């Protein structure tokens, strides 16, 4: 079978509408995006690629102002949108179109479940499955320039040219292994997460070394992270240009009361010092003066070696299941979920992470839950009140 790889440029609404109507009749299409975000908070689309098995279409979002037909296609329930390593692309579609592609099949995830390799890049997947070497020389191109070079056009077309062929091979493998429903669930969860309302209130918990701060400092860090996220989106600038994470941590720790003290903190963005120093100082003062009962509790410290033994005991179950299922252990359970389950054991109230529900519950979740309850009971006996 000859796979068409010549790029077909689409820069008018009438052509796009006709194509989208045709694509809605297909069971699946391959999609990808090229975007820029080096100096912005949001990813700005320079190109949308669609592969339908008959051609590689390059849609120009800079020329077509009304992309409603493309948005309708992206949410058409009977057409699977096949994409490789989708996380950033989902952001692009949400910002550009206001929708997230669904139903979705991420071939990076699906390939891992099909035992074709964990966290494979697109070029590696195509090479492994089709024996075709792809040139990735335009990865860091300027996709907002016009006209795009022939090299860019060729590169963009290849990103969707072979995806449906590999998708077909992956489907066969997943059905043989009985894991297709697993992958569908994972991809549906990605769509749900991308569609979820933004909530910055817990962003402070992801700051490195936040566990070292006391509640009266954490409340400042919490408000700083909310401000940084909100302002970055309003200004469409990278959050680190406003304030790096280490700077937010240091502001919370030192509680500066003057512009001079604020400027002395490493990692404060020039824009923040120039345009927002009074705002940040007022935020710090207000948070510092807030009542103690409104402060977030201290965050848990890193696990000690002794506590790490609990994590290892839980992980050993995941490893055994992975071996029995002939699947990589990273798919069975994630490191952060192991730590979350370990901490619930230490707290004496076992709570199974959400990711160990769904298909994972019957495969590994039930076993890990039982082991966690056993370890919690053992801890109670060894450390009676």
Set 122, 155, 167, 204: catalytic member: 155
Confidence of residue 269 (pLDDT cuts 50, 70, 90): confident
Q: Which of 52, 57, 89, 122 is catalytic?
A: 89
pLDDT at 383: 58
Per-residue pLDDT reduced to its tens digit, 290-330 = 999 999 999 999 999 889 999 999 999 999 999 999 999 99
Q: What residue spans define the domains of the chain?
A: 7-195, 203-294, 305-382
Contact 348, 376 (CB under 8 A): yes
362 is catalytic: no
| Catalytic choice (52, 159, 186, 250) | 159
pLDDT value at position 140?
77
pLDDT in tens, 172-221: 999 999 999 999 999 999 999 999 988 899 999 999 999 999 999 999 99
pLDDT, averaged across the chain: 94
pLDDT at 136 over 80: no
- Does 275 participate in catalysis according to the annotation? no
- Domains 7-195 and 203-294 equal at CATH topology level: no
What's the predicted TM-score (pTM) here? Answer: 0.92
User: What is the residue-wise DSSP string for 321-385?
Assistant: HHHHHTS-HHHH--HHHHHHHHHHHHHTS----GGGSTHHIIIIIHHHHHHHHHHHHHHHHHS--
Look at residue 1 and tell me whether its pLDDT is greater than 60: no
Please identify which residue in the block is written with the tokens 């909530």.
199
Which is it for the CA torsion 25, 30, 35, 41, positive or negative?
A: positive
What is the CATH number that goes with domain 305-382? 1.10.150.80
Catalytic residue flag (residue 32): yes
Give pLDDT tens digits for 42-95.
Answer: 999 999 999 999 999 999 999 999 999 999 999 999 999 999 999 999 999 999
**What pLDDT, on the 0 to 100 scale, is given for residue 306?**
85
- Active site (annotated) includes residue 89: yes
Q: What is the pLDDT of residue 381?
A: 58
- List pLDDT tens digits, range 213-252: 999 999 999 999 999 999 999 999 999 999 999 999 999 9
3-state SS, residue 230: helix
Catalytic status, residue 12: no
- Is the bond preceding residue 110 a cis peptide, omega within 30 degrees? no
> Which CATH homologous superfamily contains domain 7-195?
Ribonuclease H-like superfamily/Ribonuclease H (3.30.420.10)
Return the CATH architecture of domain 203-294: Orthogonal Bundle (1.10)
Burial class of 109 by CB neighbour count within 10 A (0 to 12, 13 to 18, 19+) = buried
Mean pLDDT of 248-272: 95
Residue 352: pLDDT over 60: yes
Classify strands 56-59 and 44-51 as parallel, antiparallel or unpaired: antiparallel
pLDDT band at residue 385 using 50, 70 and 90 as cut-offs:
very low
Which member of 32, 245, 250, 339 is catalytic? 32
């Amino acid at each position: 079978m000859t796979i068409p790889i010549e790029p077909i440029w689409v820069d008018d609404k009438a052509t796009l509408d006709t194509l989208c109507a045709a694509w809605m009749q297909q069971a699946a299409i391959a999609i990808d995006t090229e975007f820029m975000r080096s100096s912005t908070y949001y990813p700005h689309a320079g190109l949308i690629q669609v592969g339908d098995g008959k051609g590689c279409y390059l849609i120009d979002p800079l020329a077509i102002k009304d992309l409603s037909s493309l948005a309708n296609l992206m949410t058409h329930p009977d057409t699977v949108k096949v994409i490789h390593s989708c996380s950033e692309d989902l952001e692009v579609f949400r910002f550009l179109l206001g929708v997230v592609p669904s139903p979705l099949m991420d071939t990076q995830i699906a390939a891992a479940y099909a035992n074709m390799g964990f966290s494979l890049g697109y070029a590696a997947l195509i090479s492994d499955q089709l024996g075709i070497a792809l040139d990735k020389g335009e990865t860091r191109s300027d996709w907002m320039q016009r006209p795009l070079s022939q090299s860019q056009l060729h590169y963009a077309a290849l990103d969707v040219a072979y995806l449906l062929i590999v998708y077909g091979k992956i489907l066969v493998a997943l059905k043989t292994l009985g894991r297709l429903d697993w992958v569908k669930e994972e991809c549906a969860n990605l769509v749900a997460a991308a569609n979820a309302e933004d909530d910055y209130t817990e962003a402070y918990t992801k700051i490195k070394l936040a566990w070292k701060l006391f509640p009266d400092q954490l409340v400042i860090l919490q408000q700083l992270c909310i401000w940084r996220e909100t302002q970055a989106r309003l200004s469409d600038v990278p959050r680190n240009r406003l304030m790096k994470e280490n700077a937010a941590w240091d502001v919370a720790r030192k509680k500066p009361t003057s512009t001079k003290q604020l400027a002395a903190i490493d990692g404060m963005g020039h824009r923040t010092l120039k345009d927002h120093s009074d705002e940040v100082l007022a935020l710090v003062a207000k948070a510092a003066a807030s009542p103690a009962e409104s402060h977030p509790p201290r965050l848990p410290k890193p696990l000690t070696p002794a506590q790490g033994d609990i994590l290892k005991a839980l992980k050993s179950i995941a490893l055994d299941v992975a071996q029995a299922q002939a699947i990589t252990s990273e798919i069975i359970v994630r490191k952060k979920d192991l730590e979350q389950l370990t901490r619930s054991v230490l707290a004496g109230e076992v709570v199974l992470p959400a990711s160990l529900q769904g298909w994972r519950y019957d495969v590994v979740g039930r076993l890990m839950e039982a082991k966690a309850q056993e370890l919690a009971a053992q801890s109670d006996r060894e450390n009676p009140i």
